[in-house]
Amino acid sequence: MTASDMDEPPTTSSGFEPNADELLARNAAYAEAFDDHDLAVAPRRQLAIVACMDSRMAIFGILGLEHGDAHVIRNAGGVITDDVIRSLCVSQRALGTREILLLHHTNCGLQNVSDDDFKAQLERETGIKPWWSLESFVDPYTDVAQSIRRLELSPFIAHKDHIRGFVYEVETGLLHEVTRGD
Ligand code: ZN
């Protein structure tokens, strides 16, 4: 999603058509050619990736990965939340991953949005004050560095020797590594 999407959420009056029926038909074709039945539940590369949910980021394609290579954990922003820690905990302890890559990106929907304004608006509309943080940010490089620090501080992340973070440039398809000092 982009910041402009967040300003003007799509509505049913804009000619929206649900996708599920068409996608189910596509799945039938997918299953005809299915060849992944031998894949193990544990990722082959012992790799877990935490990424933003942005629709422009095809994680496996960006990194040249194959099915079965890695866990991909996604949310708005690729933020290290308690639930991401939960997934990483299962990934490392139950399914053997040893390396974590973080993928944030330019032109993110969470960029330059006010946490306070967003939450105040939700509270006004619903009567419920959100108990979670929106985790908006200004600079994606700083945000990746923040996420790396959260992982390093978590007592539940057992394997911290191979954590690296990147900003994906939606304009070029290139990844830029974030160093700890960013
Ligand atoms: Zn994003």
Compute the distance from residue 44 Cα to the ligand 1 centre, in Å. Answer: 27
Residue 82 counted as domain residue: yes
Compute the distance from residue 149 Cα to the ligand 1 centre, in Å. Answer: 19
What is the CATH classification number for the domain harbouring 74?
A: 3.40.1050.10
The DSSP letter of residue 179 is P
Which of helix, strand or coil describes residue 102? strand
Compute the distance from residue 107 Cα to the ligand 1 centre, in Å. Answer: 7
**In the predicted model, what is the mean pLDDT of residues 19-47?**
97
Compute the distance from residue 52 Cα to the ligand 1 centre, in Å. Answer: 5
Q: How many C-beta atoms lie closer than 10 Å to residue 111's C-beta? A: 19
pTM score, two decimals?
0.90
Cα–Cα distance for residue pair 33/154, rounded to 1 Å: 42
Range of the domain at 77: 39-178
Residue pair 99/47 in contact (Cβ under 8 Å)? The answer is yes
Compute the distance from residue 34 Cα to the ligand 1 centre, in Å. Answer: 31
Point out the least confidently predicted range of 12-16, 56-60, 81-85, 123-127: 12-16
Residue 36: predicted pLDDT: 95
Compute the distance from residue 66 Cα to the ligand 1 centre, in Å. Answer: 23
Residue 66 counted as domain residue: yes
Residue 7 counted as domain residue: no
Cα–Cα distance for residue pair 163/166, rounded to 1 Å: 10
Residue 5: predicted pLDDT: 47
User: How many domains is the chain built from?
Assistant: 1
Which pLDDT band, with edges at 50, 70 and 90, does 12 fall under? Answer: low
Distances (CA, A) of 118 to 54, 135, 136, 137, 147: 19, 11, 10, 13, 21
Compute the distance from residue 31 Cα to the ligand 1 centre, in Å. Answer: 30
Compute the distance from residue 135 Cα to the ligand 1 centre, in Å. Answer: 11
Residue 15 counted as domain residue: no
